[in-house]
């Protein structure tokens, strides 16, 4: 509960700093930062499941229940909200990668291609897509009470996951939905991220060679160098988020299908704590820390906000 509380306060405060800095300082109102603020908002909203987790643990202590007790409607709300926010974050990571790819590939035309209204529209489209997927998934699970209870237990690290594999027949709709979720919320975003940053790495390597040979177009090398520096900062953000979210998705999937029984593996409770609580909590606070460390404009803005200037 103490760790949940610490991460909750840090997530809300960090997200507030990013949003407040974006709103107050006009120099930060760029298309790239529109996506970053949207991502930070989703990270901050992850504090809601953390708060619900504190409430659930408090209720269990007051009622004298152990961690295996069902948390009822509150648990379903927590698992659904976590699923929705994680989907939003993954889609934003892919969007950031595409935005950096455009910035490097079309360095001189970037500001005419990527504008603030367009970035906002795409970010809202990602939000709407994630909401549609979440509602569809939740509706499908509700059709089978056993599935929704397994999903709740899989998303709740403090609940004991089912010991039996999910061997009952899934409906064709459920099978198609699970494949869709795997492709559009994990495989495709990962491919987009890897391809985008792979291309940026290649361009960065070629640019260094061009500078040595002095064959670069006037102004092109400077523009590309600036965008690559920005891409390196965002690459850290993307990498940290992936390092926390991808293991979370894998462990949740294995728990849902009953592939991680704990009866003979008591140490897996520690693994769940690390993957769910620590990784998710660090994901909520990594963005403000990275901006303050790598981005000079955000660092200056944070300093002024903290000094109330």
- In whole angstroms, what is the distance from residue 189 CA to residue 121 CA? 19
Best CA proximity match to 56, nearest among 69, 66, 71: 71
The whole-number pLDDT of residue 128 equals 93
Q: By CB neighbour count within 10 A (0-12 exposed, 13-18 middle, 19+ buried), where does 271 fall?
A: middle
Dist. CA 103–CA 198, nearest whole Å: 14
List the one residue out of 202, 132, 130, 144 whose CA is nearest residue 172. 144
pLDDT of res. 263: 54
Cite the DSSP H helix spans in 1-108. 2-24, 31-45, 47-63, 72-105
What is the Cα–Cα distance from 122 to 116, expressed in whole angstroms?
10
CB of 21 closer than 8 Å to CB of 305: yes
CB 71 within 8 A of CB 156: yes
Q: Work out the angle between the directed axes of helices 279-294 and 2-24 (0-180°, nearest 10).
A: 30
pLDDT per 10-residue tile (average), the chain, 309 residues: 80 87 90 88 83 76 59 72 85 87 83 90 92 83 67 66 58 76 84 84 72 53 59 72 74 71 56 64 72 78 81
pLDDT at 67: 47
Query: Whole-structure pTM over 0.75, yes or no?
Result: yes
Residue with tokens 């379903």: 76
Contact 28, 71 (CB under 8 A): no
Residue 54 tokens, joined? 């504190």
CB contact at 8 A, 200 and 104: yes
Question: What are the structure tokens assigned to 165, written together?
Answer: 């594999």
Which of 236, 268, 11 shows the shortest CA–CA distance to 157? 268
Distance CA 129, CA 36 (A): 18
pLDDT at 117: 92
Report the pLDDT value the prediction gives residue 306, as an integer from 0 to 100: 85
Tell me how far apart the alpha carbons of residues 39 and 202 are, in angstroms, rounded to a whole number: 27
């Amino acid at each position: 509960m103490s760790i949940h509380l610490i991460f909750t306060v840090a997530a809300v405060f960090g997200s507030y700093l990013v949003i407040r800095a974006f709103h107050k300082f006009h120099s930060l109102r760029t298309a790239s930062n529109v996506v970053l603020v949207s991502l930070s908002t989703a990270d901050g909203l992850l504090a809601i499941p953390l708060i619900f987790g504190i409430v659930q643990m408090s209720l269990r202590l007051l009622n004298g229940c152990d961690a295996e007790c069902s948390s009822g409607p509150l648990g379903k709300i927590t698992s659904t909200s976590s699923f929705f926010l994680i989907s939003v974050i993954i889609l934003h990571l892919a969007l950031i990668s595409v935005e950096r790819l455009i910035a490097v590939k079309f360095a001189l035309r970037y500001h005419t291609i990527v504008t603030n209204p367009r970035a906002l529209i795409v970010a809202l489209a990602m939000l709407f897509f994630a909401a549609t997927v979440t509602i569809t998934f939740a509706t499908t699970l509700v059709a089978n009470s056993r599935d929704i209870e397994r999903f709740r237990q899989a998303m709740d690290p403090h609940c004991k996951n089912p010991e039996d594999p999910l061997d009952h027949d899934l409906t064709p709709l459920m099978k198609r939905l699970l494949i869709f979720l795997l492709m559009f919320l994990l495989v495709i975003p990962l491919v987009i991220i890897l391809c985008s940053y792979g291309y940026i790495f290649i361009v960065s390597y070629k640019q260094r060679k061009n500078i040595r040979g002095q064959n670069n177009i006037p102004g092109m090398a400077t523009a590309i160098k600036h965008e690559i520096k920005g891409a390196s900062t965002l690459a850290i953000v993307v990498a940290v988020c992936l390092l926390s979210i991808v293991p979370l998705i894998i462990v949740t999937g294995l728990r849902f299908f009953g592939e991680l029984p704990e009866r003979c593996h008591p140490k897996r409770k520690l693994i769940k704590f690390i993957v769910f609580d620590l990784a998710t909590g660090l994901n909520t606070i990594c963005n403000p820390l990275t901006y303050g460390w790598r981005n000079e404009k955000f660092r200056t803005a944070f300093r002024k906000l903290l000094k109330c200037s």
